[in-house]
Amino acid sequence: MPQAERSRPASRRTQSAAAVLGFGLAVAVVLAATLFAVAAADRSNRLQAAEQQNLALASGAERLVWLQLRNLERAMRGVSNDVQRVAVAAPDDLPRLIAPFFAGVSQRQQELESLELTDANGAPLSGGRGQPGLSDWPDRKVAQPYSYSMYVGPLTRHRGQWLLPLALRMDDGNWIVARLRTSELQKLVMHLDADRVRLIQLAGNDGLLVADTRGAQYVGQFDDSLVPTSVEPRLMEADDDDARDGVERITVSGAVPDYPLHVDVAIARDRVLAPWWRLVAAGVALYLLYLAGLVYLVRTVRRNARANAQMVERLTEAADNLRRAQQLGRTGTWIADRNGTVCWSEPVSDLLGLPEGQSAANIGEFYSIVHPDDRERLSEHFGQAWRSGDPYSLDYRIVRRDDGQVRWMSARGAATRDADGTVEMAGTVVDVTDRMEVQLALEETERQFRMLFERNPLPFWVFDVQTLRFVEVNQAAIEQYGYTREEFLAMTIYDIRPEEHRNEVATDLANHRPGERDEVKLWVHRRKDGRLLEVRIHATDIDFRGRPSRLVLAEDVTDRMAQQRELAYRASHDMTSGLLNADALASRVDAMDADSCRIACVQLRGLELIEDSLGREAGHDTLRVMATRIARLGERFGAAGHVRSDEFALAVCPADAWDQALECLQLELERPIPGEDTLHRLESWIGVAELRPGDGKATQAIANAGLAAHVARTEHRPVAVFEAGMARHASDRLRLAGRIHRAIDADEFELHFQILWDVAYSRPAGLETLLRWPQRNGGYLPPSEFIGLCEDTGLIVPLGRWALREAAAAQRLLDRAGFPGLPVAVNVSLMQFLDGDIAHDIESVLREYELPRGALHIELTESVLMTRPEQALETLRRLQSNGVCLSLDDFGTGFSSMSYLKQLPLDAIKIDQSFVRDVHRDERSASICQALLALGHGLGLKVVGEGVETQAQYEWLAMHGCNQVQGFGIHRPAPLAQAIETLREMREWVDGPWQAFATER
């Protein structure tokens, strides 16, 4: 059809639709005007009716309030007359007589809270609280219609209720004061508004509400509406309530005659207009319904006009869409007849790679396109479909004619019969190459997963989420748990868990949300033989055979967890005693819920002697026995720990049991420890520190107790309680130790030398080195203040090595100064013997300075020899073999064993100055010195007397055969240069030092 002819009917249809639309719009305008006029008239009528009702209600309310107050005024006049008669008859008893009278009136008049007689200022005359401020009432300042009118006072609140004071003046100038309960006026206005649609308010001229239909809670609030001056109710132009509660109202207000009150009657404008709005809504709905009908009519006309044209377009588009869909979906249709002819749609030619336009072929030509491996199968299915008439479906491959590419086809078909009875086979064919490749890849992935699952060395299984039964399990799980595959598949996951852990499994399964990644968890499983395994579980949600399941990998970490527990135990316990270490003990005490704790730190001495004497295992056994005793006390009183090698700690929590705990601790420390063949006793010192809430961590308290134990050991006290001064003293010692360390590095120390005198030959016998530490002020720090600290901190070892080297250098200088063979003596401390290799150090010095035999003397104390006697004996023999002379210093002050002393390779013993000091005047000192001299000479040793300061001491020692002497009386320690000068001077001392001194004088 030509385009002009096709557009002509459409134009006519468009004109008819426009006509219908124009007529409908004209009717719509008329209908809108009518509805607007009706609505405006109805609104005006409703507002006028509401105003008239408010005016009537306000007038009635004014009347009722006026009557109420007027009745009270009359009653108060009657009371006033009675009071005046009583005042005339018995003026002296007036207060006593009228009080019960007023009480009776108040009981009869329930609306009155009280009735009182007051003077002009409101002071009570009949008892009661009076009416302060009566003379200042605003109502008294306004002219009344007659002289004995009742006055209304400002609203007041008493004991939780609002009262309206009323006052009536008597002839004698006194006043009758009554207090009206506002609840009576509230009831009055509430009765007026029976349907609760209006707001009725009674307010004073001061603006305070006396009654309000909204509720008694509004009484006493300020009403900011204007106070009317006319008794006749009038419509207010604006309602002040709008500002208070946001409700727009139609308000009428009028004053109560003769009294300073006014009545407001209001009704919400929305309530008045509510029916009008429903009328408006109905009119608008009717109008919209008309417009909707008009729109529907116009659209129907236009829709029918478009329907016919769209029908043709849809049919054309449907054919095009089908062709495009087949091309895009690589789908085609085919038909085959009994004669073996196959016809197909255009897309099939493209799928088979045939020339464009070829749409038919015989069955043999079609089979030639099919892949050789699939021809027989396709022919069999196709023939079976012809014979049975059943539908068939088959996937097969073809080899495209144009490029030789192999593609997968999915054919669907069935036998059909047309109208004339001819039987044909028709169906569709789809290129499913992509799907088949994905399916083959999925099968390969599944094969690989199956191989990974079955051959994995770690246990794998799959269980059903709903039944919790195992549905698949690999060989590693079978071997690890000891069940057969059949036994596994008949079990649930509960069966491999210990009975006490099954609730945890149920809780874990209940908290699991499908799809969420599980955290790796540690569980305990049970083998078939009952042995427990610790396993780390890795699990994820899968779909197995169409059911929600979970894939689980169980990693056996039993040995690893045992190692971790062992490491954790080693990190928190001392391996010798089995007690908590310091950090673990502090954590245990911090976790205790106690108001206060006391920490006892025990330092022991004697374990090293046991180890050296009886062996390391004997020392450990002794330590374990003591640890067991302290551990029992820890279980009884709090906690116990092994904080250092020879130091234990007992935490008493709470501290209330401290006295008992300390007593038990001391008893356990005093008890001997049984050994293999003997009983061992250990020296002990106890330090005590307090730990209160807020003091911080227990680590500091344990350290404080250790410091107190160190102080107890230093001061030879059995128990010492920590004080702040101890910490300061320890801090000072630490700072001093730091200074000593820096002084050693900076070579600040000096050696002074004291000359020893040979009594028999009256000549110098050698020099003894004495350590000195010069200070910035020019003086020297006494050795007693730093030598002990050096021994405690181990600094005595490097300091001793330095002293050895300096002494060796001094001996070489003496040799060059003309005093060959004059030996130099050096003191060696216990720490140098225990923590250093003193023999190696001395041998190195001898080689470095090429000292001859006897040039270097070593002085030892008895404590050095007795601490580790076997080690000391070996070291001394090694030194003596290298030509080092050995002296026993401070002899007689220790506890040397005589049997042990005779084995030592000594050259000399030195008598302590405590025996020499009074040897010439004290028989006991003399006896001891004689015995020591006899002992030394009897062992073939030289004997040196120390601390010789007087001639008497010198002469006594010389007379009794003492070989050598030293002391301030002979020579005061001095630097090497001064000592050499003194040695030169001593060459002139022929008859001894005191004769030389006398000659010099």
Stronger pLDDT, 253 or 897, i.e. the higher one? 253
How far apart, in whole angstroms, are the C-alpha atoms of residue 673 and residue 669? 9
How far apart, in whole angstroms, are the C-alpha atoms of residue 780 and residue 306? 123
Residue 690: strand pairing partners: 598
How far apart, in whole angstroms, are the C-alpha atoms of residue 263 and residue 66? 11
Strands 597-605 and 683-691: antiparallel
Give pLDDT, residue 241.
46
Give pLDDT, residue 945.
94
Q: Is the pLDDT of residue 6 over 50?
A: no
Q: Among 803, 789, 881, which Cα is nearest to 839's?
A: 881
Chain mean position to CA 940: 77
- Name all domains of the chain by residue range, CATH numbers in brackets: 332-432 (3.30.450.20), 456-560 (3.30.450.20), 573-722 (3.30.70.270), 749-1000 (3.20.20.450)
Q: Is the pLDDT of residue 316 over 90?
A: no
Stronger pLDDT, 226 or 349, i.e. the higher one? 349
The helix/strand/coil state of 981 is helix
Q: What confidence category does residue 240 fall into, taking pLDDT thresholds of 50, 70 and 90?
A: very low
Give per-residue pLDDT as tens, 164-194.
Answer: 899 888 878 888 888 888 888 888 888 877 6
Give pLDDT, residue 346.
77
Give pLDDT, residue 319.
62
Q: What confidence category does residue 11 fall into, taking pLDDT thresholds of 50, 70 and 90?
A: low
Q: Average pLDDT in the 444-464 region?
A: 76
Q: ω into residue 275 within 30 of 0, thus cis? A: no
Give pLDDT, residue 899.
61
Lowest mean pLDDT segment, chosen from 219-228, 491-500, 641-650, 872-881: 219-228
The helix/strand/coil state of 137 is coil
The total of other beta-carbon atoms located within 10 Å of residue 983's CB is 20
Stronger pLDDT, 267 or 945, i.e. the higher one? 945
Q: What confidence category does residue 505 fall into, taking pLDDT thresholds of 50, 70 and 90?
A: confident
Q: Which two tokens stand for residue 80?
A: 């006033």
Q: Among 756, 790, 662, which Cα is nearest to 718's?
A: 662
Q: Average pLDDT in the 342-370 region?
A: 81
Q: Average pLDDT in the 849-876 region?
A: 83
Q: Is the pLDDT of residue 387 over 70?
A: yes
Q: Are 675 and 579 in contact (CB under 8 A)?
A: no
Q: Are 707 and 688 in contact (CB under 8 A)?
A: no
Stronger pLDDT, 68 or 927, i.e. the higher one? 927
Residues for the chain: how many in total? 1001
Handedness of CA 92, 97, 99, 101 (dihedral sign): negative
Q: What confidence category does residue 867 fall into, taking pLDDT thresholds of 50, 70 and 90?
A: low
Q: Which two tokens stand for residue 573?
A: 């316990």
Chain mean position to CA 811: 69
Q: What confidence category does residue 758 fall into, taking pLDDT thresholds of 50, 70 and 90?
A: very high
Q: Are 353 and 400 in contact (CB under 8 A)?
A: yes
Q: Average pLDDT in the 69-76 region?
A: 85
Give, in order, the Cα–Cα distances in Å from 174 to each of 124, 440, 631: 10, 118, 96
Residues 6+ apart with CB under 8 A from 8: none
* Sequential DSSP letters for 685-754: EEEEEEE-TTS--HHHHHHHHHHHHHHHHHTT-SEEE--HHHHHHHHHHHHHHHHHHHHHHTT--EEEEE
Which residue carries 């709090």 as its tokens? Answer: 638
Q: Are 722 and 707 in contact (CB under 8 A)?
A: yes
Which of 536-545, 589-598, 906-915 reaches the highest mean pLDDT? 906-915
Which residue carries 């029918």 as its tokens? Answer: 304
Stronger pLDDT, 901 or 282, i.e. the higher one? 282
Q: Average pLDDT in the 316-341 region?
A: 72
Give, in order, the Cα–Cα distances in Å from 635 to each of 588, 589, 630, 655: 12, 13, 9, 14
Q: Which two tokens stand for residue 965?
A: 């002497």
Q: Among 109, 113, 114, which Cα is nearest to 126's?
A: 114
Give pLDDT, residue 698.
85
Give per-residue pLDDT as tens, 13-43.
Answer: 556 667 777 787 888 888 888 888 888 888 8
Q: Average pLDDT in the 200-210 region?
A: 84
How many CA atoms are closer than 13 Å to the CA of 750, on its beta-carbon side?
15
How far apart, in whole angstroms, are the C-alpha atoms of residue 591 and residue 653? 11
Give the 3-state secondary structure of 659-681. HHHHHHHHHHHHCCEECCCCEEC
Q: Average pLDDT in the 754-783 region?
A: 91
Q: Is the pLDDT of residue 325 over 70?
A: no
Q: Average pLDDT in the 277-300 region?
A: 84
Lowest mean pLDDT segment, chosen from 312-326, 513-527, 640-654, 790-804: 312-326
Q: What confidence category does residue 4 fall into, taking pLDDT thresholds of 50, 70 and 90?
A: very low
Stronger pLDDT, 653 or 100, i.e. the higher one? 653
Give pLDDT, residue 37.
86
Q: Is the pLDDT of residue 5 over 60?
A: no
Give pLDDT, residue 254.
84
Which of 475-489, 689-703, 778-792 reaches the highest mean pLDDT? 475-489
Going along 775-862, which residue ranges are E strands? 780-781, 824-827, 856-860
Predicted TM-score of the model (pTM): 0.42
Q: Is the pLDDT of residue 576 over 80?
A: yes
Give per-residue pLDDT as tens, 649-688.
Answer: 999 988 888 999 999 988 988 888 887 777 888 888 999 9
Give pLDDT, residue 339.
78
How far apart, in whole angstroms, are the C-alpha atoms of residue 200 and residue 203? 10
Average pLDDT along the chain: 82
Which residue carries 């061992």 as its tokens? Answer: 680
